[in-house]
Amino acid sequence: MVKNLKILLCFLFTSIVFSQTIQSTIDSTQIKIGSQFNLTIKANVTSKDKVVFPEAQFFGPVEVLESYAVDSIKNNDKLELIKKYGLTQFDSGRYVIPALQVIINNKAVQTDSFAITVNPVIVDTLKQQMYDIKSIITVEQPTNYFWLYVLLGIVGILIIGFLVYYLIKKKQIKKNEADEILFASPIEKALSQLQNLEGKELWQKGETKAYYSELTDITRYYLEEAVEIPAMESTSNELFDTLKTTIQKKKIKLSQDILDKFKKVMANADLVKFAKSKPLDFEIENDKKMIDSFLISIDKAIPRTDEEKENLFTEELKRKRNRSQKLKRIGIPITLVLFLLLIGGVFIGITKGTDYIRNNWIGHSAKSLLNEEWITSEYGDPAIVIATPKVLKRVSDERIQNNLPAHVKANAKFMYGSLLDNFSIILNTTAFKDTTNVDLNQVVEYDLKNMELLGAKNITVKEEDYEDPKGLTGKKAYGSFSVQNPLEKENQLMNYELYVFSQPGGAQELFLIYRNEDEYAKQIMERVIASVELRKATEK
């Protein structure tokens, strides 16, 4: 009997200890929707006890907004642990926070359960004045000077390239002068003088007579030195006859065609010098080319000794050197400019990010947009909800907004891309002042005519009633068209899909356009149309 009594007292003592170990309270039993209230759990233990408080996103139907850190109060050998939770509920009604388990030394102890009432927020529309939705206000974007900095950077790089070109050319001229380059032959002298003549740009400045005078004088000096005929004192006809005789005598193998063309250039020069003739630009350039060809041809045809042939070899080496110098003074600045532009592009890519470069410079590919995180948004009134790779931008046309038909309350248009891009999306929503029902066939016909006005050609059209698995119904038109891209020679073949939806008081139009051969763009359009949801027109 005594033994049983001891066991009973032990159980009662244990029950009393654990019933006093845990205390739980809430600071409010009634809240408004979304308001926060607090649940507090206190555990009275010793410093050696191990206590684990509950952690979860929800305590029954109530959401845990925040789980605060455990606070503690020490009283002699006792320790009071305080755990606080911030809770809420976003639907009105009566809810019960269930009993929660606190683990003390691997034993579960339950808290009390609590009832909480969530009251709705009541709006008295009779006492509170209501206002119409305000119209859209255009906000001026702050001035972005980034493009100005880019332009100044490009100009600076070009200036650097020009300075490098100038310095290289100046160094080459000094080197050539230091080498004391002498003319090894009459032909080298003549070609150099012709090059200097072009540099003066006489005929470009209107000094055509002076140009032809120097051109013929250079030719006559060469003939005197190389062919040894009195070219400077002769008229053009006398020079030609003497040249013809000398060619036969010295057995210079020169075609009759070359001689005839040379005679024609000399005749043109006489007309300019004595008859004040004004040849066209292309005629002057042709005469210059003919003189070059004549001098080189006759120089190659003149029989030469071994010494003269050696001089010609030296002349060829100098010509090769001049070509090499020209390539160097042009190639180095161009390479430097391209390198600096590349460095600038990499710098912008690092500081602004790849998205900035794609958005503003190279654009997005359909494949990259397909794999990016999409955005689901609601557009217009009556609203249409769709998911797109990029947010559609509102297109504002004051001329249209100021001339809406009498039965139209509002119209909104949203776009991404253009008719020439790999793909584009156009949304149009129209709200009516009454429960007007729209003829969907007329809307389809109107939209296709607008597409033709934007440059679409050879439009093919197929129409059908549309209904998706979610029960969304409307009219669908689809087909293809061609459009001229200014950057491409051939017309680009495009596909399109047009969806028109109607309801009492409103209508929505969704236009999808993509390149015929772009499979990724086609997948984007399929994903866009699968995401469509409609909202009812708002009533006022």
Q: What is the pLDDT of residues 498-535, one digit of tens each?
A: 888 877 777 888 888 888 777 888 888 888 888 888 76
Which positions ≥6 away from 433 have C-beta within 8 Å?
406, 407, 408, 409
Q: How many angstroms separate the first and last alpha carbons of the chain? A: 85
Which pLDDT value is given to residue 355? Answer: 56
Can you give the residue ranges of every domain in the chain?
19-119, 182-303, 366-534
| 486 exposure class (CB count in 10 Å sphere: 0-12, 13-18, 19+) | exposed
Which pLDDT value is given to residue 25? Answer: 92
Residue 395, SS3 per DSSP: coil
CATH classification of 366-534 is 3.20.20.80, yes or no?
no
The pairs formed by 72-80 with CB atoms below 8 angstroms and a separation of 24 or more are 74/47, 77/46, 77/47, 78/44, 78/45, 78/46, 79/44, 79/45, 79/46, 79/47, 79/49, 80/42, 80/43, 80/44
Dihedral of CA 51/57/61/65: which sign?
positive
**H or E element that contains 327:** helix 306-352
pLDDT digits 0-9 by tens, 467-505: 777 667 788 888 888 887 666 667 778 888 888 887 777
Dihedral of CA 389/392/393/399: which sign?
positive
Domains 19-119 and 366-534 in one fold: no
**Class for the domain spanning 19-119:** mainly beta
Residue 350, SS3 per DSSP: helix
Instruction: Tell me the mean pLDDT per 10 residues along the chain, length 540.
Output: 45 41 89 90 88 90 90 84 92 89 89 90 62 57 71 89 87 66 67 84 87 88 83 84 84 83 88 86 88 85 62 61 81 89 80 58 61 81 81 75 72 78 81 72 80 82 80 82 73 85 80 82 84 66
DSSP 61: T
Q: What span, in angstroms and rounded, lies between the C-alpha atoms of 327 and 460?
A: 54
> Judging by DSSP bridges, how do beta strands 30-32 and 114-119 pair with one another?
parallel
pLDDT digits 0-9 by tens, 175-220: 766 554 455 577 778 888 888 888 888 888 888 889 988 888 888 8
